[in-house]
Amino acid sequence: MQRNRPNAPSNNWDNYVAAFSGRIMTASFEPQARFRRGAASCEHEGKHAFEACPFYLGEVHAAKAIRLTFPHLKVLAVLRNPRERAVSAFNDYVRVGRIRGPNASSAGMDAVLHEKVALLRSGARALESFDMRILSSGVYIHGLRAWSNHWPGSSMLVLRSEDLFGATEVVMGRVQRFLGLSASFPSDALRHVSNRNTLPSKSRPSRRLNATLDGFFAPYNAQLYAWAAARGIPFGRWENASSSGTDPPAHACERLKDLQRSKAALSSRDWELLAACTTLL
């Protein structure tokens, strides 16, 4: 995983461990940039912290390979509202220069993301297509299913980033207990964010784009909620930016439930309503 980075270890275990304890310089993704990781704060307890990568969740072979290599590893997945994640990813693409010119704007965001949703819905692209990653990285359920096939529930912790940032000390206490670490981190360290996008201005989604993204992710989110519930994992539902804030009537919920049971095709709006109905019935 490090083969394309200068001065980074590739197959030497001691060097690999040292790299992620801050003792080896590695190149970042940004041109001409270099960074040094600080020593892991759990090092005094004889534990090592390795890299955090959002793409492992979507790599179909990663779960089995990592399980075979690190059978006692604890896995932590922190999931953000996929609609907000897609918007954030767009702005990050602008920050690193992957999206430039007229497209690096709110209007450009609207056009780019609508086009990608349309390509996926038409079948012209698949979720596995690399150029769809800005959306597919928010389809968490496929990765979670793959990981849960190889990883015991006692070694996986799945959280919402909204809870992590909204109740940091409480959630981090849960994380530390899961990892078997002493709860000795000061509160100011828990609230430190090191990878915030510092662009002076960021593109913002239109109401139309929010509605499109909510509709696109709705069926996958519904599967995620069902997956978590079946495993006894407490996982709150994400709010839809495009919702009116009112609950759907009970008779509409019953109709949608009947359609789902009959395996009828549901529209994107139906999936959004169904997700809301689940909290009522």
CATH architecture of 54-235: 3-Layer(aba) Sandwich (3.40)
Calpha distance 252→262 (Å, rounded): 15
pLDDT one-digit tens code per residue, 256-273? 566 656 655 555 555 555
- Categorize the per-residue pLDDT at 42 as very low, low, confident or very high, splitting at 50, 70 and 90: low
Residue 196's alpha-carbon distances to 85, 88, 91, 94, 136, in angstroms, are: 13, 10, 11, 14, 22
**pLDDT higher for 49 or 155?**
155
CB-CB contact of 257 with 277 (8 Å): yes
Task: Look at residue 281 in the predicted model and tell me its pLDDT.
Answer: 36
**What is the average per-residue pLDDT within 8-20?**
51
In tens, the pLDDT along 131-185 reads 999 999 999 999 999 899 998 888 999 999 999 888 888 888 898 889 888 766 6
* pLDDT score at 193: 63
**Looking at the whole model, is its pTM more than 0.85?**
no
Question: What confidence tier does 227 reach under pLDDT thresholds 50, 70, 90?
Answer: very high
Phi, psi of 87 (to 5 degrees): -65, -45
Measure the CA–CA gap between 255 and 37, rounded to whole angstroms.
54
195 or 142, which is more confident? 142
User: So what's the pLDDT on residue 151?
Assistant: 87
- State residue 75 phi and psi, 5-degree precision: -110, 130
**What is residue 235's predicted lDDT score, i.e. its pLDDT?**
93
Other C-beta atoms lying within 10 Å of the C-beta of residue 131: 10
Number of C-beta neighbours around residue 137 at 10 A: 19
Domain spans of the chain, in order of start:
1-51, 54-235, 243-281
Q: What is the pLDDT of residue 58?
A: 78
State the pLDDT confidence band at 44, using cuts at 50, 70 and 90. low
Segment 76-91 mean pLDDT: 94
